[in-house]
Structure 1
Amino acid sequence: MPFDDFAHNPRTLLHIAGALRNRGVSPLELFRRVGVPPSALLDANGWVPRQLCFALSEEAGIVSGDRFLISKIGASFELVDFGPWGRTIAGARSVGEACAVAANNVELLHQGSALRFFTFARHAELRFEYHGRLGASPHQHLLGSMVFLRKIALLAKVPEAVSVRLSIPYSHGAECLEETCGPRLEFGCDYDSIVIDRSILDASIGDVGPNPIEVAETAEATGALLKRLLPYGRANLETVAAHLRVSARTVQRRLRDWGFSFEEILDDVRRTEATRHVISGENSAIEIAFLLGYSDPAHFTRAFRRWTGMPPRDYARAFRSNYS
């Protein structure tokens, strides 16, 4: 696989927007600045380029003023947040089997990463690494990944039997990572790995968390509904709520918990659909305006200027000149 094709499932970015909003940071502005449109997170079967995931994680730590923000976000994830990958782990009979299943199916989440499970005389290891050219610093993303992988071993409910080894060197203040990685934490190691005492590998796993979360399901369903409803001029909160069979207030609350408002999602879906149509050149501006639910083409043109800084025709011309 070419390095440029390395990508991550949007589920891995699930809680970043909500964590930023809770800290008074606009996730919409940050996501767009990095190059990750919020609408990209609405497709659970899609992929986000890996370098953008790295950049988003690094930038989130900077703008929030919390250098360990992503590790805290990693701790907030539950297995069910990761869809099929999480469900296969939850179905394991023991901690050892859960680790093996996680390693064997990691490509459901990451394209361009390796997760390997080794067993030795006294311990076992879940080793995590990135393949190929990284394109951006993976530091923050790595911390979040390791914190969550530790939670797989913690299914045995014996935290003293689990330790975390990081390849990054110790830096001032890094002891704060004990909050999410536990006290058995080592820096400057040869591998990034979760080390597990062999004595707990056969431990059965109990309840792995709540049922698949309503927040993610609502966000994904909202994105799909908006694309279907736009041409009919019915892409509004009340119609979406009716399709989901919940109240408009419930939709708003769930989306806010996810990190974005309904209006922000609608605007971003329109923006991404608009740029796609303009670049393809298959539809006129009037037709695109109709497909996006605008009653007047002038309204579409004004919105497109707001999104891109130029009218549709100039944007299409600039795109073709850059890629010709």
Structure 2
Amino acid sequence: HLGERTGAFVVALARQHRITSVGLPGFAMRTAPTLRQGLTSLLRYQHLTNTLARFDLLEHDAMVVWSEERFGSPRPGHLLATEVALLSAVHIARELVGEALVPSRAEIRRAAVPKAYTDFLGCPVGASAPRGTLTFPRSWLERAIPSADEDMSSFFHAELERRRQTTEARAQVVADLRGYLGPHLMRGAPSLSAAGAALGISARTLQRRLQEEATTFAEVVDGVRRDLAAAYLQNAEYTAAEVAFMLGYAEASSFHRAFRRWT
């Protein structure tokens, strides 16, 4: 049966995962004193190595719910990725504390639960859930991690904090640039050097920071124009020619070509 074969494949993948597969946040987790501190660290820095999903931890009375929100429109691959992530989380937790931890319950998004999942987890698994979740006793969080190392933990956290601040500063540059461009487009798109000067940095620095965010000045300008065009065109008071002017296009035909490309 296809579902059972897929389930066995997901379990095999989960068993191959190690905490270091997560990258630097994984090393910080491995050297943390308890599972609680390790998970807190992982959640704080998850965006540095994972741009496809977000994990959350909710404590409620004596239980804890670990959930995953996967970005993008649902696809079959997303369902499998969620299941790999959930089973891997249990496998990694077991390895970290050196115990055969058994969750209280798990939930997956697809309609049928492969038997391999219940065999691996040792708990009931619900289907057709809005998101993938693991429910486990709060006492798990106080489990000691035998590989804890205070000095190494401090080192990893310092490096993670440095990377977090750098990443957020780069993202802020894009946000600041978008904020600057909006009111200035009517006079034509500002130059890279003019935008840099307005943001208090050189054109070269602005260009480098945009490259670090995997974008370019032209792409940011285009994105701002696209978003403003969508907003302006919802207002029946503006003609297409007026929108083209407000977005800094010299000719309405240039706006029309851009609009066709956006849509």
TM-score (norm 1): 0.42
Select which of 200, 211, 214 maps to 1:256. Answer: 211
Q: Kindly indicate whether the alpha-carbon contact (under 8 Å) linking 2:188 and 2:249 is maintained by their aligned counterparts in 1.
A: yes
Give the alignment partner of residue 116 of structure 1, picking from 17, 42, 58: 58
Paired with 2:161 and 2:59, the residues of 1 have a C-alpha distance of: 23
Of residues 161, 167, 171, the one that matches 1:209 is 161
The alpha-carbon distance between structure 1 residues 118 and 302, as it changes in their structure 2 partners (threshold 3 A), is closer
Give me the whole-angstrom Cα distance separating, in 1, the residues matched to 2:22 and 2:247: 38
Structure-2 residue corresponding to 1:290: 245
AA at the equivalent of 2:241: I
* Corresponding residue for residue 191 of structure 2: 236
Alpha-carbon spacing, 1:115–1:272, altered in 2? closer, same or farther (3 Å): same
**1:264-303 equivalence runs, <5 A:** 264-303=219-258
Shift of 1:127: 2.0
1:292 to partner: Cα distance: 0.5
**Correspondence for 1:139:** 79
Q: 1:95 aligned to 37, 51, 56, which one?
A: 37
Q: 1:135/1:292 Cα in 2 relative to 1: closer, same or farther (>3 Å)? A: closer
CA distance in structure 2 between the aligned counterparts of 1:252 and 1:193, rounded to whole angstroms:
43
- The letter for the 2-side match of 1:139 is L
Judged with a 3 Å threshold, the aligned counterparts in structure 2 of structure 1 residues 243 and 189 are, in CA distance, closer, same or farther, namely farther
State the distance in 2 between where 1:164 and 1:257 align: 42
CA distance in 2 between counterparts of 1:279 and 1:215 reads 32
Q: Spell out, residue by residue over 1:76-101, the C-alpha distance to the aligned partner (whole angstroms, 9 max, x if none).
A: 797xxxxxxxxxxxxxxx739959x9
Please tell me whether residue 193 in structure 1 is matched to residue 158 in structure 2.
no
3-state SS in 2 of match to 1:209: helix
Alignment length (residue pairs): 185
Question: What per-residue deviation string (whole Å, max 9, x for no partner) do you get for residues 111-165 of structure 1?
Answer: xx97422576xxx7442167xxx97244377479869x99xx99xxxx7239897
* Structure 1 CA distance for aligned equivalents of residues 191 and 84 of structure 2: 35
Check 1:266–1:136 CA distance in 2 against 1; reply closer, same or farther (3 A cut).
same
Aligned counterpart for 1:128 among listed residues 54, 67, 76? 67
Query: How large is the Cα RMSD of the aligned pairs?
Result: 5.0
Identity of aligned residues (%): 24
| CA 1:287–1:215: 2 relative to 1, 3 Å | same
Indicate if the aligned counterparts of 2:68 and 2:133 stay in contact, CA closer than 8 A: yes
Structure 1 246/194 Cα, relative in aligned 2: closer, same or farther at 3 Å? farther
Structure 2 length-normalised TM: 0.50
Q: How is 1:134-173 mapped onto 2 (pairs within 5 angstroms)?
A: 136-137=74-75, 138-139=78-79, 142=82, 160-161=96-97
Partner Cα distance (2:202, 2:38) in 1: 43
User: Structure 2 CA distance, aligned partners of 1:187 and 1:260?
Assistant: 46
- Which SS does the other structure have where 2:161 is aligned? coil
- Structure 2: gaps of 5 or more residues: 1-20, 26-35, 45-54, 115-119, 126-131
Separation in 2 of the partners of 1:119 and 1:274? 49
Question: What amino acid does structure 2 have at the position aligned with 1:264?
Answer: E
Higher Cα Rg: structure 1 or 2? 2
Cα pair 2:57 2:64 within 8 Å, conserved: no
Please say if residues 229 and 243 of structure 2, whose CA atoms lie closer than 8 Å, have aligned partners that are also in contact: yes
Cα 1:199/1:245, change in 2 over 3 Å: same
Looking at structure 2, the residues matched to 114 and 209 of structure 1 have their Cα atoms a distance apart, in angstroms, of 19
Spell out, residue by residue over 1:160-198, the C-alpha distance to the aligned partner (whole angstroms, 9 max, x if none): 23989775678xxxxxxxxxxxxxx95987373387452
Native 8 Å contact 1:271 1:304 kept in 2: yes
Question: Is the CA contact (8 Å cut-off) linking 1:252 and 1:261 kept in structure 2?
Answer: yes
**Residues 216 and 144 of structure 1: is their aligned pair in 2 closer, same or farther, counting only changes over 3 Å?**
farther
Any gaps of 5 or more consecutive residues in structure 1? 1-73, 79-93, 103-112, 171-184, 309-324
